[in-house]
Amino acid sequence: MAKIGIFCGTAGGTSMAVANALVEAFEIEEDDVINMEEDFDDIEQFEDYDVLFIGSSTWGQGDVHFSWVDPQLEMQDEEMDLSGKTVAFFGAGDSVKHGEHFCSALGKLHKTFTDLGAKSIGFVDKGDYAYEFSLAEMDGKLCGLAIDQHNEADKTDTRIANWIESLKGQIPA
């Protein structure tokens, strides 16, 4: 079985709620859930896992959660080799107030991880979402699970459940 790690930057708790659902669905140990603000030590932690679930809320002009800024830059500067890793992205955004940058943090993290060799899974059809623009949108899909707890809280549980179910068929053994 592939070793799974969750790395999550969260402020309001929405992204961590997704992380908790992943923990339950994939029986992930508590030590393998890294809150980027509290538990993250070094980019070498990514090397301990075959599958990385990467979570971040979106801030400002489509930026990653502040706890991701330094690790993301360090990964790029050191040209970290993530080939052989499988990665899935999830996060929170506001499709109304920040519809011009909806969950763009996922797109920025996707670019970093895939540019370094990771294989991305967990794309979601954008048809169930309403927003102006997102860097997370690629070929008509979002590069991960986008949650809008501000405007579409009634869709959250279904979106999480459907995403997790799709991941189960995509994660390598």
Q: State the number of CA atoms in the 13 A half-sphere of 20 facing the CB.
A: 7
Catalogue all structural domains in the chain, each as residue range(s) with its CATH number: 4-168 (3.40.50.360)
What predicted TM-score, i.e. pTM, was given to this entire model? 0.97
Residue 172 Cα distances to 2, 49, 51, angstroms: 6, 12, 8
User: How many whole angstroms separate alpha carbon 109 and alpha carbon 112?
Assistant: 5
pLDDT tens, 91-145? 999 999 999 999 999 999 999 999 999 999 999 999 999 999 999 999 999 999 9
Residue 62 Cα distances to 20, 58, 169, angstroms: 24, 6, 30
Residue 11 burial (10 A CB sphere; 0-12, 13-18, 19+)? middle
pLDDT tens, 140-150? 999 999 999 99
Instruction: Select from 149, 144, 150 the least CA-distant residue to 162.
Output: 144
pLDDT tens, 85-99? 999 999 999 999 999
